[in-house]
Homo-oligomer: A and B are copies of this chain.
Amino acid sequence: MKIRIGIYGYGNLGRGIENAVRQNPDMTLAAVFTRRDPATLKIGTPDVPVCHVDDVIQYTDKIDVMILCGGSATDLPKQTPELAKMFTVIDSFDTHAKIPEHFANVDTAAKESGKIAMISVGWDPGMFSVNRLYAGAILPEGKDYTFWGKGVSQGHSDAIRRIEGVLDAKQYTIPVDSALEAVRSGAAPELTTRQKHTRECFVVATEDADKARIEKEIKEMPNYFADYDTTVHFISAEELARNHSGIPHGGFVIRSGKTGAASENTHVIEYSLKLDSNPEFTASVIVAYARAAYKMALAGDCGCKTVFDVPPAYLSTKSAEELRAELL
């Protein structure tokens, strides 16, 4: 009996989930839910029903884990608590500052329905969070660093696109090599925002646009660019399509800490990701945690959970015996 997965929202992440489910032999895609007219949506898996979100209640007996693929700004704060009333659910809510509020709302709904609802799964929040926790617990006298990139920031790309005279844009977040090396040395440096990352922008402007003004507006944009060293390149739409169509990302979680009678020994723990496709990797993490959510639900647990609550063994298709014999 395979784990029956539902996909709620079919954008980049939803397509990533669809592909990831195909790589996991213990799972099957049961249905895809969309706000669009289902007749207009072509999905990658044959013979899987595409349904309107309004009909989701008819699927409570046909889906073991519903994976919510909406955005964190407006979709998930509403959808996750709502769907947790009917399904075991999992989302990738990634507005770090609002996680406690989202948790509380989802927990209330999931405890009422007796379902498992897992939130904020992916790589950050997600695998990076787990690694911050492990490293901090192991080296209590230490210092944490998270670097992102090299990768595309959707939010920063969107911010550039809103500037007058900009047709399209792609923004890369890039960790500063010398900062990474200083952290890896165990020196535990104090680093400013500017010292940790640079930002590189590829911008397609209208023919008559004032490029100097656009560049100035980007570089001085508060929160997004003002605190960083930013490079702006104006390129053609063709070049953007040819060289910047991917969605790579990645990053580094590093903790250095001291041990010993006189804190004389230094240790460095590093976790890093180098990803060709941010949404596909996020989807792969979510699908592994969907398995865990399914196991927790089977065990009779309920309420809102995060990656911190999941024993690693729950993520695997292997039995406890196999894991001990093969991976320990």
Check if A233 is an interface residue, CB within 8 A of chain B. Answer: no
Check if A163 is an interface residue, CB within 8 A of chain B. Answer: no
Count of A residues near B, CB < 8 Å?
A: 69
A99-113 interface bits toward B, Cβ cutoff 8 Å, 1 = contact, 0 = none: 110010000000000
Are the CB atoms of A323 and B275 closer together than 8 Å? Answer: no
Tell me which residues across on chain B come within 8 A of A288, comparing CB atoms: 137-138
Tell me which residues across on chain B come within 8 A of A312, comparing CB atoms: 130, 133-134, 137, 307-308, 310
Chain-B contact segment, one of A153-161, A199-207, A262-270: A262-270
Tell me which residues across on chain B come within 8 A of A291, comparing CB atoms: 137
* CB within 8 Å for A133 and B260 given contacts A267-B274, A273-B267, A276-B267: no
A141: which of B23, B103, B136, B138 is its contact (CB, 8 Å)?
B23
Tell me which residues across on chain B come within 8 A of A328, comparing CB atoms: 96, 99, 120, 125, 129, 306-308
Which residues of A are interface residues toward B (Cβ below 8 A)?
A: 16, 19-20, 23-24, 44, 96, 99-100, 103, 120, 125, 127, 129-134, 136-141, 184, 186, 259-261, 264-277, 280-281, 283-285, 288, 291, 306-313, 315-317, 320-321, 323-325, 327-328
